Amino acid sequence: MAAEPPVTDCDVLICGLGPVGDLLALLLGQRGVSVVGIDAAPEPYELPRAAVVDDEVLRIYQWAGILDQILAESQVQDEVSFVPRHGRRLTLMEPDGTLQGQHGLVSIHQPTMEQTMIEAARKQSTVDLRWGVRLLDFRQENELVRARVEDESGEQRELTARWMVGADGGTSWVRQLLGIEFSGSTFRQRWLVVDVALDRPLDRVKHPHFFGDPERPVVCLPMSPGRHRWEWMVHPGEDVEPMIDPESIRRRLEPWLGEETAEVERAVVYTFHHRVAERWREGRVLLAGDAAHLTPPFAGQGFSSGARDATNLAWKLEAVLSGAPAALMDSYEAERRPHVEAMIRLAVTMGKFIQTSNSRVAVGRDLLLRTLEVTGINHWGRQRVKPLPAYGDGAFAETPAGLVFKRIVGSQFPQPEVVDTKGCRIKLDGLTGLDWTALTSEPEVADAFGSQGIRSLLAGRDFEDPDKTISDWLIDHESAWVLLRPDQFIYACGATLEEVKPATDQLRRDLGRAFPTG
């Protein structure tokens, strides 16, 4: 008989209540996991950092029940433009969120977004968020973590948890206490970042623009309604003090704003990094978000990558807390690290592309972009810039295919609209929820999954597929059924009824006592 788990203050202790820690607390709370979240700061950070989130994050917000609130304070961005030094504007990207059933890209005001997550997390009865509490140190003992913390009064106490997550940013104290290397490099170029509050949107730049003037590249993008961000590259050796002077900033903004009323909310010089922690797990302690990886901002994937971490961790922590083998947590890094590294490569490439100060290189770049646009070659590519949501290793019934475009198991299932049994048109995830779910059009397969204790959704009985997205997917992939994880990644699929039991047997081995019961 398995030993009872130790009595602790919480199931999961989250160190760091930035957006990744907030989101993880919310997702765990929805699953009934008891959470204590701590942050050394006296209150949530009030200034924006992240400026955009993508379709994958919007799908996560849908699961978290906060999508409508987030979209109400966001701006949809259907295009990202590049403006060469000479010539007309070019379309660099057209973010496509069809796979996720969401907008491809939206710009946000991070403090507002975080407050939405915090309020939703606090509504979960099992979540306790505490600011003004800093981690001093911790130690691990078999099945628990003992953390020594200190509040603003100087009072120290011990918190115990079965698992701990360090979501405490790029300078992560959790990572430092573990002695984990944070390898990578620092961009040579620095950037002046200025956030401005406006009375109304700027007609001139309604969506993100990269201005490729080699004398000083500029990035300009709308944020949430009434806010805008500008980024100017700082040349090597250039003195930044005069640049952040209010009068200097006013002069920089004047060509863009004209007579518009504007308030500068933040002006800071950043040096961008790309780094990845040597390992993301040490026993019962895990790293997430910037504590595990840092990326330059040029692909807009900093927080989005951290949100994927939180989602990956949430269902796995719940499973392990319910009896799945602790080894399941090894699949977190196995899945997320290659995807993060691909995102970092994309951001670094885009950064080099944008911030060249070599006039000859800039001329060649502009000529290439214009040629691609004129010939139409870039139409397909500009909708598919970022790496696909597909993992090459991890918690799946079989090893995913090596080539990502051939990958079925390990990829994320699309989210079309379906019609439920009440005749309402809803997004697919509204039916699958947070559970392991099999999708099929064959009654015998649905019964087979049911006999194994797994919830199934049968087309024609449990939902209608009006646009034929699911039926076409099954036909295109020569499958009779697909088994989805709680994060909607494909755990297994098969063409026959006989393939159901081997898949569910593997799931039983992966989840142990946490095997779903329908």
Task: Please indicate, yes or no, whether residues 341 and 469 belong to a single structural domain of this protein.
Answer: no
Domain boundary at 334, 350, 366, which? Answer: 350
Task: Please indicate, yes or no, whether residues 41 and 141 belong to a single structural domain of this protein.
Answer: yes
Task: Please indicate, yes or no, whether residues 419 and 338 belong to a single structural domain of this protein.
Answer: no
Taking alpha carbons only, the member of 418, 422, 398 closest to residue 408 is 398
Question: Tokens 């597909």 identify what position?
Answer: 390
> What pLDDT, in 10s, does the model give residues 407-452?
899 999 999 999 999 999 999 999 998 889 999 999 999 999 999 8
Most confident of 129-143, 247-261, 335-349: 129-143
The encoded tokens of residue 110 equal: 């991070």
The encoded tokens of residue 177 equal: 């206490």
Is residue 418 domain-resident? yes
Q: What is the pLDDT of residue 178?
A: 98
Q: What is the pLDDT of residue 512?
A: 86
Note if the pTM is more than 0.75: yes
Question: Distance between terminal CA atoms of the chain?
Answer: 24
Is residue 29 domain-resident? yes
Residue 139 is part of a domain; what is its CATH number? 3.50.50.60
Cα four-point dihedral sign 276, 277, 279, 284:
negative
Task: Please indicate, yes or no, whether residues 160 and 300 belong to a single structural domain of this protein.
Answer: yes
The encoded tokens of residue 377 equal: 């070659």
Question: Which residues, listed in sequence order, are joined to residue 10 by a DSSP beta bridge?
Answer: 161
> What pLDDT, in 10s, does the model give residues 455-474?
999 999 999 999 999 999 99
Is residue 272 domain-resident? no
Task: Please indicate, yes or no, whether residues 41 and 150 belong to a single structural domain of this protein.
Answer: yes
CB 210 within 8 A of CB 354: yes
Give Cβ neighbours of residue 6 (< 8 Å, ≥ 6 apart).
142, 143, 144, 160, 162
Is residue 295 domain-resident? yes
Q: Which one-letter amino acid corresponds to residue 219?
A: V
Compute the distance between CA of residue 356 and CA of residue 211 in angstroms, rounded to an integer: 11
Rounded to 5 degrees, φ, ψ at 119 are -60, -40
Q: What is the pLDDT of residue 377?
A: 55
Task: Please indicate, yes or no, whether residues 337 and 415 belong to a single structural domain of this protein.
Answer: no
> What pLDDT, in 10s, does the model give residues 168-197?
999 999 999 999 999 887 666 789 999 999
Task: Please indicate, yes or no, whether residues 424 and 332 belong to a single structural domain of this protein.
Answer: no
Q: What is the pLDDT of residue 224?
A: 86
Mean pLDDT of 95-113: 91
Mean pLDDT of the chain: 90
Compute the distance between CA of residue 69 and CA of residue 61 in angstroms, rounded to an integer: 9
Task: Please indicate, yes or no, whether residues 337 and 454 belong to a single structural domain of this protein.
Answer: no
Compute the distance between CA of residue 457 and CA of residue 477 in angstroms, rounded to an integer: 18
- For 409, the domain range is 404-514
Residue 443 is part of a domain; what is its CATH number? 3.40.30.120
Is 42's pLDDT higher than 70?
yes
Total number of domains constituting the chain: 2
Domain boundary at 350, 374, 391, which? Answer: 350
Considering only residues 375 and 356, tell me which one the structure prediction assigns the higher pLDDT: 356
How sure is the predictor about 376, in pLDDT bands with cuts at 50, 70 and 90?
low
The encoded tokens of residue 409 equal: 């198991």
Is residue 271 domain-resident? no
Task: Please indicate, yes or no, whether residues 343 and 457 belong to a single structural domain of this protein.
Answer: no
Q: Which one-letter amino acid corresponds to residue 260?
A: E
Is residue 84 domain-resident? no
Is residue 345 domain-resident? yes
> What pLDDT, in 10s, does the model give residues 194-235?
999 988 777 778 889 888 888 888 999 988 888 999 999 998
Q: How many helices (H) and strands (E) does the chain have?
A: 14, 25
Query: Lowest-pLDDT range, 58-67, 397-406, 496-505?
Result: 397-406
Compute the distance between CA of residue 17 and CA of residue 310 in angstroms, rounded to an integer: 12
Task: Please indicate, yes or no, whether residues 322 and 446 belong to a single structural domain of this protein.
Answer: no
How sure is the predictor about 375, in pLDDT bands with cuts at 50, 70 and 90?
low
Is 30's pLDDT higher than 90?
yes
Taking alpha carbons only, the member of 369, 474, 488, 390 closest to residue 82 is 369
Q: What is the pLDDT of residue 64?
A: 97
| DSSP class per residue in 283-320 | TTEEE-GGGTEE--GGGS-HHHHHHHHHHHHHHHHHHH
Task: Please indicate, yes or no, whether residues 40 and 115 belong to a single structural domain of this protein.
Answer: yes
How sure is the predictor about 384, in pLDDT bands with cuts at 50, 70 and 90?
low
Is residue 478 domain-resident? yes
Task: Please indicate, yes or no, whether residues 477 and 340 belong to a single structural domain of this protein.
Answer: no
Domain boundary at 306, 325, 350, which? Answer: 350
